[in-house]
Structure 1
């Protein structure tokens, strides 16, 4: 038994709209053995994971899985449920899972939900190890494995404060992306995004944070503004510290000048000896040490968000209550077993640790860690109430006096913080603080909000909502429009057309295509960029006002979607391509993959479908948003039914692109005026234009703008590189196109037949991961469609041997009846093109179906620059001239 593949999908994917782990496991010799036939397996499994008794499984009720287990189920099914139960034991609420055999092999695809990626992946590994061990009759230490997974997972877990912000944002429909593995989040997309790290927002001034971290400077600024603060001074030597304490008069506070979470802070010091010990502790945190007057009273944390107080908590220092039996150390161990306490910030409370400060505090109370305090005696282990040092909190939000609210807000604004934790010491927060009876002790940037979310006593406060509302006031925008285009053919051209329309309207457009990632006309990344990582580049760019994303099959299968929900989705068509790859064997399988794009659309958004494609029309059953159909046929039955139901459609009425709505017909433009359609004769670019108009209409782009944009969109190397680009070279022409499947080849050959060439030459090739039958079929189509053919091969053979694809293409060509003398094999793409151009005759038309565009374009430009006897203007015009089909 071995794991062949293990990966986590971070967003919507072909298996589920929630986060899942995909694990491919080869069960090898255990593949056909049901659980009932493995001696002792079921009993041992349930002893290790008794929670499996509650699993529903396909029977839909608690105990369903046990029934299947006893009847005899296969091990992949058991691994799936173990992975879910292990996560459940660790505290993650997950239930979705499934296991499917891969054809007739011993391998299974196991998919299950996760919340924490590390925990999800490790649970899968552990489940395989567990099941295999039980099959072999071996012991398995489940507790050791659970503790190991828990320890790993906690390192990547978001803290309660950050998690609360994430949950609140998602509840408001604001998409959330985690930047890196820390606590930096991006809320929203593109122009409207906001970034936040814990409770520091992108609006928080760096200078303000620096001021807040400098306690001396903070105190000086607040004092000058009339905010009551304790007297004190900063020093670097023990002698100075003792002198300051003497001048202030005891009791005093000693703390590091720059620090957080209460580290190195000692309160209520009453003797020089205590000051000396506290000075040494503070010195370990910062060279500069503050000695200030101790303000008697309670410790309150006032949380300010924006211009108001949203929560107040009284902080109680870490303590134990004696029972007359256990030592203080034992009492701490008992408290730390509380599930609410974690090692750091990952849980509502933090475990209490007995450290140097604790020893000093205990000594002051007459105790040591080994002391047994009497029953009911409260013994403190810390002097400050920070939750990070084991403290607790009592909600006091409804008790704070308005004057104290005003002081807290002013303190935050004076320092310049949009989110601040104001520490106030006073006897009673419900009474106004005055000089001598209370003071602002500190102003904290990035304040923790655990104490307000999970107070030990009192009402929890949803402060995360106030933070999200400050970043995104109700009614404000949090996301740019996202347009996602998928399908077999036409994706790139459709994306480019849509982007061109939107840029013409004045938007800053982020676009992903097979040719790269673009922000308007600027390429920020070259290559085939049609997956989630490329989408993320666009969605994290603050200049982008609308995203137009080419979303290809491969990226969907490998990593899911790179966004949460789109505003508009387009499915251009479904035809044979990539079959036999990634467990996609039929057109129905391919439709299932691409339908994810249609399902992940906002309910008030639009899905644009090609009504001329029966497979795409079938996809409408998966759509839960508005539909716009497009068609080249005015009398398309799907369009007619849709219009009868009050829907929207875009179709050809004669030569005119026409928009039909409940309010009537809108004549958009004559397709012959769209250069990319070559006078209305390039069929597939008419379809792409119809799809683009559908999207533009859904985006409420004015008709005049659509006309202007499509009227200036050419099938050239500037607007649509590599998609039916036509070049005049001397007395022959070269067409450059990316067709690489049966449908693509058919459409291109149909188009060139309208160009009036005296002889056509095809330079053909097919990616090596296509099925043999598909490769032969493309050869047959080329054999029927061209007068002569040069066969080349891709550099990336995709698992094939050199010459293998060429041989299959040759077989297909010859089966079409082409004279073998008209077939030549030149494996190099560039050499094949050079050979064709050298042998070109007047009136010839050469078509190259390329793998790499740049070398092909460089070869053509070299030929153009070498036109014998041509002037510079001749060569320049030849480079950009596109043959019009008249």
Structure 2
């Protein structure tokens, strides 16, 4: 079989917002099949068998057929390699733990060249998946060996490096369920929820409501204990020590057995339990001293460790830890038995995909010390039937939310409020969480800021808890979406005039407006950047500004094709023309139908409670009315417009020109509004051409924002156009 040359990846572009393909970010790939254009999937000997053997789950891809096995049917019938690459990349992402259901491949005006897109939550992960998918596809075409597992592992590593952690991802997913937009603010887990003045921020399980003072208190375990004791929350008795000798002296004063731990450690590092001998206390002191600035000796509380999650003063989830034991067989060492009897549990692993951690004896000094206290070494061979304790409190990952006694929940909530944390992970030890602490002798041992959520999201046993939803409900009141009004204006001419006028009217209406247009970037009436701001990044900056409570954005067809929209949804979307004079050949957008598909993006993102503003003098734009989830407001130069008349007959809102004045009509009612002719004259005197249709679009947009006709009229009368530069 002759070898085929590689498919050429001509252009790779990340569309960061809603685009002509979908509402969500995608990676768009322009590829040239070369001679492979003559070889669809059914004309390469053995290709289909090799591909499905490498990726057997391709059978789950419905493709255009709409049912399981749909893609395999397309393979058998014969489909081109651009389409195959789409599905290969999607399947690699699925296998890597980033499920991706969307993809499309379309031919271009050049034979053998295709545009292929797929859903891309993260650009770097998407690029890594593309590279691996490309290599896999060429290997299958040429009957070369390919290690699919290694490819998936490389993509998974990129996911771990680049994507949100599981706790943050759960909160973001809960926000998405409530239609709250989000913006990732760094390469880690700092995320903005909502826009502008209505935004909130999270950093994993910390929020912008989390007090820095409370965090500082939580890090100091001795201070935490003192404050909790003062409000009647049960805590273990103990004291801080500076030497091993002081630790033993304190242990004797407190009463054996005791716990030795660092005062400001985390994740249980350096914590040794149930100490009864001086040598053990001294060894435990050395371990704790390496982990924190101070060492605490506390009374030992019998029972299992529990982690309770408090959000906004309420206990929303609880998990229990358990001991981990091995049983000797007289043949295997302790290390071998740990692997055979504990690490074989499919719930254990090294990544966050697993609710339980894999135990590696050499990496945990506390485990080694516990073995030493039992007179056992990792290389020892326990007798048959001999039980050896490996971990006193293994991973806290057994859900027990439904078992929490109300008195326990009250004590835990009080602990979080006393420290001052809006979100807290409270550690307590007791024998039975379904009974009051006063009965079991249990106590709260730690209060943690920024707690991990994985144990509640993926428990080893029991039901997952909706902790992400609880945090979102804490940050946003019921029905609140964190959105501010966003106006998107798509115009090939006059877009700067429309957006400047709308921003001015919103300003007069009491809004602090952010404006991105070809005249620059504005905050209120102040220009903060002079260069053209019809760019994704300029509009995005406004959505991140915590002062802005309304945003107006000028878009064009090129910016949508290059980057997508900067916002996921908008209150008002405006399209004024079909961009007939704009050269979009670089994007292979040549026909009116292709332009329509690009321009409709602005209308596709209108919120259900919002409105689309369309130019009724452009017949193709009137067709977009049915694409709007919200209301439609039409404008036209003449009242006699057929589209306008039909729209009014249905009770719709419309704006038209009558004697130089804008008339605002709904159904049969009419209100005389702004003096368009005078404003056009003022633009002309300032050296700027602005036709009446442009000014009508501004009036219609303001009305769609529910600004009163009186304020629109007064606002346009007071608007002063800038002198042409």
> Quick check: 1:55 aligned with 2:61?
yes
How does 1:157-306 map onto structure 2 within 5 Å?
157-306=163-312
Deviation (angstroms), 1:531: 2.6
Deviation (angstroms), 1:330: 4.7
> Quick check: 1:620 aligned with 2:643?
no
How does 1:44-123 map onto structure 2 within 5 Å?
44-115=50-121, 117-123=123-129
Q: CA separation of 1:101/1:293 partners in 2, compared to 1, >3 Å: closer, same or farther?
A: same
- 2-structure distance, mates of 1:131, 1:448: 39
Which of 132, 136, 157 is equivalent to 2:138? 132
RMSD value, Cα: 2.7
- 1-structure distance, mates of 2:405, 2:445: 17
Q: For 2:315, what is the secondary structure of its paired residue? A: strand
> Quick check: 1:581 aligned with 2:613?
no
Deviation (angstroms), 1:323: 8.3
Q: For 2:284, what is the secondary structure of its paired residue? A: helix
Does the CA-based 8 Å contact 1:677-1:685 persist in structure 2?
A: no
- 1-structure distance, mates of 2:424, 2:227: 16
- 2-structure distance, mates of 1:527, 1:680: 20
Q: After superposition, give the CA deviation of every residue in 1:836-876 in whole Å (9 maximum; x if it has no partner).
A: xxxxxxxxxxxxxxxxxxxxx4xxxxxxxxxxxxxxxxxxx
Higher relative contact order (CA 8 A, sep 6+): 2
Which of 415, 422, 425 is equivalent to 2:419? 415
- 2-structure distance, mates of 1:277, 1:481: 62
> Quick check: 1:466 aligned with 2:470?
yes
> Quick check: 1:343 aligned with 2:347?
no
Does the CA-based 8 Å contact 1:495-1:548 persist in structure 2?
A: yes
- 2-structure distance, mates of 1:324, 1:642: 87
- 2-structure distance, mates of 1:400, 1:612: 66
Deviation (angstroms), 1:30: 3.0
- 2-structure distance, mates of 1:552, 1:375: 76
TM-score between the two structures when normalised by the length of structure 1: 0.76
- 2-structure distance, mates of 1:150, 1:376: 41
Moved more, 536-545 or 369-378: 369-378
Q: 2:532 is matched with which residue?
A: 528
Q: 2:390 is matched with which residue?
A: 381
> Quick check: 1:482 aligned with 2:491?
no
Q: CA separation of 1:311/1:592 partners in 2, compared to 1, >3 Å: closer, same or farther?
A: same
Does the CA-based 8 Å contact 1:154-1:346 persist in structure 2?
A: no
Q: CA separation of 1:345/1:499 partners in 2, compared to 1, >3 Å: closer, same or farther?
A: same
Q: 1:432 is matched with which residue?
A: 436
Moved more, 424-433 or 621-630: 424-433
Q: 1:797 is matched with which residue?
A: none
Q: 1:692 is matched with which residue?
A: 698
Deviation (angstroms), 1:116: 5.1
Q: 1:667 is matched with which residue?
A: 672
Q: After superposition, give the CA deviation of every residue in 1:396-437 in whole Å (9 maximum; x if it has no partner).
A: 333333333222222111211111112122232233324992
Which of 539, 549, 554 is equivalent to 2:543? 539
Q: 1:771 is matched with which residue?
A: none
Q: CA separation of 1:649/1:325 partners in 2, compared to 1, >3 Å: closer, same or farther?
A: farther
How does 1:629-708 map onto structure 2 within 5 Å?
629-662=634-667, 664-674=669-679, 676=682, 684-708=690-714
Q: After superposition, give the CA deviation of every residue in 1:547-600 in whole Å (9 maximum; x if it has no partner).
A: 111122222112212111111100111222123222121233222212101101
> Quick check: 1:356 aligned with 2:356?
no
- 1-structure distance, mates of 2:42, 2:343: 42
Q: 2:162 is matched with which residue?
A: 156
Q: CA separation of 1:319/1:79 partners in 2, compared to 1, >3 Å: closer, same or farther?
A: farther
> Quick check: 1:516 aligned with 2:516?
no
Does the CA-based 8 Å contact 1:11-1:564 persist in structure 2?
A: yes
Q: For 1:287, what is the secondary structure of its paired residue? A: coil
Deviation (angstroms), 1:643: 0.7
Q: For 2:309, what is the secondary structure of its paired residue? A: strand
Q: 2:460 is matched with which residue?
A: 456
Does the CA-based 8 Å contact 2:190-2:203 persist in structure 1?
A: yes
Q: After superposition, give the CA deviation of every residue in 1:222-268 in whole Å (9 maximum; x if it has no partner).
A: 22333322222223332322322232222111111112111221111
Q: After superposition, give the CA deviation of every residue in 1:659-680 in whole Å (9 maximum; x if it has no partner).
A: 1114711111332342545599
Q: After superposition, give the CA deviation of every residue in 1:687-728 in whole Å (9 maximum; x if it has no partner).
A: 2221222222222222222122111223323xxxxxxx3xxx
Q: For 1:228, what is the secondary structure of its paired residue? A: coil
Q: For 2:623, what is the secondary structure of its paired residue? A: helix
Does the CA-based 8 Å contact 2:484-2:549 persist in structure 1?
A: yes
- 1-structure distance, mates of 2:472, 2:420: 19
Does the CA-based 8 Å contact 2:636-2:693 persist in structure 1?
A: yes
Number of aligned residues: 714
Q: For 1:711, what is the secondary structure of its paired residue? A: helix
Q: CA separation of 1:680/1:259 partners in 2, compared to 1, >3 Å: closer, same or farther?
A: closer
Q: 1:599 is matched with which residue?
A: 604
- 2-structure distance, mates of 1:70, 1:325: 55
Deviation (angstroms), 1:339: 5.9
Which of 553, 568, 573 is equivalent to 1:564? 568
Does the CA-based 8 Å contact 1:7-1:121 persist in structure 2?
A: no
Does the CA-based 8 Å contact 1:5-1:25 persist in structure 2?
A: yes
Q: CA separation of 1:488/1:667 partners in 2, compared to 1, >3 Å: closer, same or farther?
A: same
Q: After superposition, give the CA deviation of every residue in 1:94-143 in whole Å (9 maximum; x if it has no partner).
A: 23222223322443221122445444322211121122233333222222
Q: CA separation of 1:336/1:617 partners in 2, compared to 1, >3 Å: closer, same or farther?
A: farther
Does the CA-based 8 Å contact 2:180-2:481 persist in structure 1?
A: no
Q: 2:615 is matched with which residue?
A: 610
Does the CA-based 8 Å contact 1:119-1:149 persist in structure 2?
A: yes
- Of the two, which has the highest radius of gyration? 1
Deviation (angstroms), 1:326: 6.6
Does the CA-based 8 Å contact 1:320-1:332 persist in structure 2?
A: yes
- 2-structure distance, mates of 1:637, 1:216: 78
Q: 1:870 is matched with which residue?
A: none
Gaps of 5+ in 1: 386-390, 718-724, 726-856, 858-886
Q: CA separation of 1:69/1:394 partners in 2, compared to 1, >3 Å: closer, same or farther?
A: closer
- 2-structure distance, mates of 1:253, 1:520: 59
Q: CA separation of 1:28/1:377 partners in 2, compared to 1, >3 Å: closer, same or farther?
A: farther
Q: After superposition, give the CA deviation of every residue in 1:42-80 in whole Å (9 maximum; x if it has no partner).
A: 322222112223333333333333333234332222211
- 1-structure distance, mates of 2:134, 2:695: 51
Q: 1:400 is matched with which residue?
A: 404
Q: After superposition, give the CA deviation of every residue in 1:595-631 in whole Å (9 maximum; x if it has no partner).
A: 1011011122100001112232233343332110011
Q: After superposition, give the CA deviation of every residue in 1:457-479 in whole Å (9 maximum; x if it has no partner).
A: 33332122221111112144511
- 2-structure distance, mates of 1:649, 1:378: 82
- 2-structure distance, mates of 1:322, 1:18: 55
- 2-structure distance, mates of 1:435, 1:649: 72
Deviation (angstroms), 1:40: 3.3
Moved more, 690-699 or 88-97: 88-97
Q: CA separation of 1:430/1:58 partners in 2, compared to 1, >3 Å: closer, same or farther?
A: closer
